[in-house]
Structure 1
Amino acid sequence: MRVLITGSNGQLGRAIKKESQNFESLKLYFTDIEETDICSKESVKAAFEKYTPNIVVNCAAYTAVDSAEDERENAYALNAQAPANLAEQCVTKNIKLIHISTDYVFDGKGNTPYLETDKVNPLSVYGQSKLKGEELAMAIGNTMVIRTSWLYSAYGNNFMKSILKYGQERPELRVVFDQTGTPTLANDLAIAILQIVQKTDKLFVPEIFHFSNQGVCSWFDFAYEIIKQAGLSTKIIPITTNEYPTKAIRPQYSVLNKQKISNLLEMGIPHWRQSLVKCLQEYLR
C-alpha cells in the first residue's frame, strides 16, 4: 500500500511518520507545501504522478485561527481549495483521500458531544474554510473526513508546549475556563489513521468521522494538568473568554462524539489525561 502524506512537517504529519514504524506493510511518502503546493492543481497532479499513491492523507492546513480573520484568502486556499484539488486527482485516478478537519465547524451552542450528523455553523474564518474544504472534497468523492479537536504533540507549536514554556518563565498564567472540549494527542490520531490505511478495503468509508481523546475539559483544566504533570509550581488562574478577547470567536463547547470511529476501528480511545502523560514523558525526557 503506497500512502502519500501531505503536511508532513506539521504535528500530525510528524506523528504519522513516528507511528508508521509499527505499520511495516505500508510504504509512506511524505511531502510538504514547499515541495508540493497543494493549492495548485498542477503541483498536485505532479505529486500523484511522482508517488503513485493508493491513498492520500491530507494533514496540511492553515491553522492560525486568529490570523485567518485577516488572511481569509490564504485560509481558504489551503483549507478549502487544496482538499478539493486532492479529491479531484483522487477521483481521476481512483485513489482514496483521508482529509483532516476540525471541531471548529460547530458553533459550540450544544451541551452534548457533537455527532457527525449534527448541524454545522462555524463562527470563524478558520472554521468556515475548513467546512468548505469538507464539503468540496466530499462532493467530488472518494473522501473520508476525520474531524479532530485541540491537537497537540511533542512537535510543532501547540497549547501544551506554550503552557510549559510560559510556566517556566512566569509565576502565574491566566487561562480560560469557559471553553470546553477535548485535547487530542496527534500520535493517537495518527495510529487511528494508519489503522484505516492498513485495512483500507474494510475500514475506509467515504463519510465524516470524529476522533479526539476521551474525556472532557476546559482549557484551564488542560493547562492545570500540564503544569501538574510537569512538576511546575506555576499558578493557573481561571478567567472567562471575555477577559481574554481574541480576533476569532471560538466555540464554547466542542466535545466530539467518537462512537462511530470507535465502532469502525473496534478499539478503545485513550483518555486525554493518559495521553498527556505519554506525551510529556516523550517531550521532557
Structure 2
Amino acid sequence: MALSSSMSKVNTIKMTEAQFDQLRDVIYKRAGIHFLDSKKYVLESRLSRRLEELEFEDFSQYIMFLTAGPYQMEEFQEMFNRITINETSFFRNEPQLDYFEQQVLPQLIEARKDTKTLRLWSSASSTGEEAYTMAIQLHRSLGIRAMDWKIEILGTDISEKVLKQAQEGKYPHYSVRSLNEMVLNRYFKQEGSYYHLDENIKSMCRFEKLNLKDRVSAKRFGTFDVIFCRNVLIYFDDDMRKNVISIFHDQLAKDGYLFIGHSESLRSLNVPFEQLPAPQAFVYQKV
C-alpha cells in the first residue's frame, strides 16, 4: 500500500489547515494512517474530484458527510481507495522471498511434518499478489506432498475494492512482469490482456477485510506460522506501529516468522522479536 501523490491539475478545491487537521484525524482514528503536514496536498488533490461528484462546495461539507452522514462507512471506503495506491506485483523483493522459500519454508515443513498444517498471513494483501506468491512458493516446496498438507493462506486488507480483485485472481501484465517464463506458464493462463491464476493456487488463499487497528477482529483468525507485513508500517506513527506489531506477536506461533519491508524496523517498539542475521530478508522471529 502506498499513499498517492498524483495531483489533479484542474478544479482542485482548496483545503484549509483546519480542514486538513480534521480529515487526517478521521483517517488516523479509523485506519491508523498518519498524514504528515507535508502531505496535505495529497488529500486535497485526490479528493477534490470526489467533492465535485458529491456536489460539495468545500471540505467541511465533505468531512460532515464522512463523519455524520448515513453513508459514512461506505464513503470512508471510497475515500480510502482514492487516497492510497495499492502498488504490488508477484515475487516483489526477490531476495527476501528467496530467503522465505529456501530457509524458512524447509524449517517449517520439517517442524510441522506431524500435523501437516501451515498457516500464513499476508496482512496488507492489496490485490493478492503477495498471498498468491507465497502459495506458489509453498506449492513448489512441497511438490507432490502438497496434497497431504492443509495449507491456509489468509490475505487481509482494509479496502474491499482490492480484496474483490484478489478473489478474482486475474491480473494485468504489470503484475506478472517480473515472473520468469517457466513460472508464468506453469501457474497462469493468458486470456486476452489478462493472466488468470491457476485454480489450485487460488484455492490455497482466502481474503477477508481487516483493519489492523482492530485487535479483536484479528484474534479471530487464529495462530499463524508466518506473517508478512511489508511496506505498511511506514505509514503509521509509533503508537500504531507498536499496536500492530503487538497483534502480530500474539498471532504468531512460538517459532513463527514476521517479514517486514526493507525500509522498516522494529527498533524502539519494545516488542519481543529478534531479527535474524539475514541482511536482505528483513525477517524476525518471536521470542
Q: Which has the higher contact order (CA 8 A, sep 6+)?
A: 1
Higher Cα Rg: structure 1 or 2? 2
Same fold flag (TM > 0.5):
no
Relative to the length of structure 1, the TM-score reads: 0.31
